[in-house]
Amino acid sequence: MAKIDVSSEMTGSIWKILVQVGQDVEEGDTLILIEAMKMEIPVAASDSGKVCEILVAEGDMVADGDVVVRLEQ
């Protein structure tokens, strides 16, 4: 199975995780919300698949390009 890394596009803190391991997601679904500069920035699935790994926890700081979720097809 192919693995797909979903990365943060902005530096900020993980405000809310909206998915669970094992959950099926579609391309464009919001997986995580990042709080940056008092704004909520969605991190969306770049492709359809199943969440196989969540690499962050709520409250964690992430940088631009950090992998936050891993999907499998």
Q: Give the mean pLDDT of the chain.
A: 96
Strand ordering across the sheet containing 30-36: 39-44, 30-36, 12-17, 61-62
- How large a percentage of the chain has pLDDT more than 70? 100
What are the boundaries of each domain within the chain? 3-72
User: What are 27-59's pLDDT values in tens digits?
Assistant: 999 999 999 989 999 999 999 999 999 999 999
Structure confidence at residue 70 (pLDDT):
98
Is CATH 3.10.150.10 what the domain over 3-72 is classified as, yes or no? Answer: no
Strand partners, 51: 71
Structure confidence at residue 1 (pLDDT):
76
